[in-house]
Amino acid sequence: MKNNQLKFKNIHFTSTLSMSLVLFLVGLVSLMVFVARDAAVMMKENITLSIILDDDISNQGINRIEDYLKSTPYTKSTNYISKEEALKDHIQSLGDDPEKFLGFNPLLASIEVHLNAGYANPDSVKMIETRLKSFEHIEKIAYQKDMVSLVNDNVRKVSTILLGIAVVLLLVSIALINNTIKLSVYSNRFLINTMKLVGATSWFIRKPYVKTGIINGIIAGIISIILLTLVVFYVQYEFGISGFALNPGSAIYVSLIVLISGIGLSALSAYLSVGKYLKINTNDLYLV
């Protein structure tokens, strides 16, 4: 009896440990997907749209443009740079003062606009540029067109690759967790058959295995989240990469993906695995 209990505990421990490692891989790829997404958002929102204003614009005209920008869904933030501030920045950056040898400040005031990530793409920027040109006293609108296209192309490529890896790994994870649960249920196939013979209902037999699968999934998920947290802290410490550019919301999503995957796949695999032995005749159990 003690040997059987010890054997069951070993199977239970091995099953939970195996699921933890599989869920860790699922979480790691999910983490990479969210890190890539957050990094892409950060890069897109760092793209600057410079609205160059002519010298004839009044304070009222500047306020009108700024109020319009702040009311639109595509603006994340705006920053007005006066002629004097532009000259000061120019001197700090290049070291020369054009006002000294020209006798006047040739630089123009501008409004620096940071776009929301969803609008930092070539088509949206062109639309924004067209709308802004309807305002008077705008000399020109400057932005790095090549940078906008490059960022969007790279984000699209990286997202496609990571999504492909995530799908493949999810399929592998389903197979591994299913096989792990099957091995656990296999050791109890005669007990399942005995319960069936004495008249126990299908759900009554399945219930303890599904419950155990859920508990195992929760434990495996928590272990995986702890491992992922250690990986994040290690990368922060070793490489000085602050949080992988991962925001708290994304960290919560990754944790939920790991937990839901562990609970859902474990419970479903336990339900199906027990069902397999409920359909097998007693004599056939010796051949399985």
- Quick: pLDDT tens for 114-162: 888 888 888 888 888 888 888 888 888 887 777 677 777 777 787 788 7
pLDDT at 245: 55
- Contact of 47 with 147, CB cutoff 8 Å: yes
Q: Which residue matches tokens 């155990």?
A: 212
Percentage of the chain modeled with pLDDT above 70:
89
Residue-range domain boundaries for the chain: 2-42+151-287, 48-143
Strands (E), 119-244: 138-142
Percentage of the chain modeled with pLDDT above 90:
2
Give the total residue count for the chain.
288
User: What amino acid is encoded at 284 in this protein?
Assistant: D
Check: CATH 1.10.287.3610 for 48-143?
no
Q: Extract long-range pairs of 102-109: CB within 8 Å, 24+ residues apart.
A: 107/83, 108/52, 108/53, 108/54, 108/55, 108/83, 108/139, 109/52, 109/53, 109/57, 109/62, 109/80, 109/81, 109/82, 109/83
